[in-house]
C-alpha cells in the first residue's frame, strides 16, 4: 500500500488527531471552546480549522502542487496570522502530523511522510508571510488615511478642483 492509500484509509484518525493537536496550541480555555462545536456560526474558528485540516488531508491523497497546498492551508493560517502567535507558533500545528505519522507508517514510509509534512510546513509559512504582508499593508494604508483626514480637518490639505488644475497648467 502506498503512502496516499494509507493516508486515505486513516483519514478520520489523522483529521481527528491533527485537529486535537492544533487546538491544543491555544490556551486551555480557548482550546476547550474551539474543540466543542463544529458549527460555523457558533464556532467559526474551530469549524474553519477542522475543515481546513480535512481539506489538507484530502489533498495529500492525490497529486498536488505547492500552490494548491498553499491555497488549501490558507484559511487556518490566515486565522493564526491575525492572532497573537509568532511565525513559529502559527505554523507549528503542521508538525503535529509527524507524531501522527509515526503511529501509522513503517520506517520506509515515515521518511516520505516527513518530507510531505515539511512541504505542508513550507506552504503554511509562505502563506503566513503573505498574510502578515497584507496586514502590514492594511495598517500602513489606514495610518495614511488617518493622517490625511487629520490634515484636512486642520486645513493643511486642500482638495484641488478641475478649474484649479486647468488654471495651473495655463500658467
Domain assignment of residue 77, yes or no: yes
Residue 87 within a domain: yes
The answer to the question of residue 159 being in a domain is no
User: Tell me, what DSSP letter sits at residue 85?
Assistant: -
Structural domains of the chain, count:
1
> In the structure, what pLDDT confidence band is assigned to residue 151 with cuts at 50, 70 and 90?
confident
* Any domain includes 21: yes
If you average pLDDT over residues 51-69, what whole number do you get? 96
Please tell me what DSSP assigns to residue 92: G
36 located within any domain? yes
**What range defines the domain where residue 12 resides?**
3-131
The three three-digit cell numbers of residue 62, written as one number? 492525490
Phi and psi of 65, rounded to 5°?
-110, 170
What is the C-alpha separation between 168 and 143, in angstroms, rounded?
30
In a domain? residue 138 = no
The per-residue pLDDT for 169 is: 54
Tell me whether residue 117 is in a domain: yes
Judge whether 98 lies within some domain. yes
Amino acid at each position: 500500500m502506498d503512502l496516499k492509500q494509507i493516508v486515505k484509509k486513516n483519514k478520520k484518525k489523522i483529521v481527528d488527531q491533527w485537529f486535537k493537536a492544533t487546538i491544543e496550541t491555544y490556551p486551555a480555555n480557548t482550546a476547550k471552546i474551539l474543540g466543542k462545536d463544529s458549527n460555523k456560526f457558533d464556532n467559526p474558528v474551530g469549524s474553519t480549522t477542522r475543515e481546513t485540516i480535512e481539506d489538507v488531508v484530502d489533498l495529500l491523497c492525490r497529486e498536488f502542487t505547492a500552490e494548491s497546498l498553499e491555497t488549501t492551508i490558507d484559511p487556518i493560517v490566515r486565522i493564526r496570522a491575525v492572532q497573537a502567535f509568532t511565525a513559529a507558533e502559527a505554523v507549528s500545528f503542521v508538525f503535529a502530523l509527524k507524531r501522527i505519522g509515526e503511529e501509522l507508517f513503517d520506517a520506509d514510509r515515515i521518511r516520505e511522510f516527513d518530507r510531505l509534512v515539511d512541504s505542508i510546513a513550507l506552504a503554511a509559512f509562505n502563506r503566513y508571510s503573505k498574510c502578515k504582508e497584507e496586514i502590514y499593508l492594511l495598517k500602513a494604508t489606514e495610518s495614511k488615511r488617518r493622517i490625511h483626514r487629520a490634515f484636512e480637518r486642520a486645513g493643511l490639505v486642500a482638495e484641488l478642483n478641475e478649474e484649479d488644475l486647468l488654471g495651473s497648467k495655463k500658467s
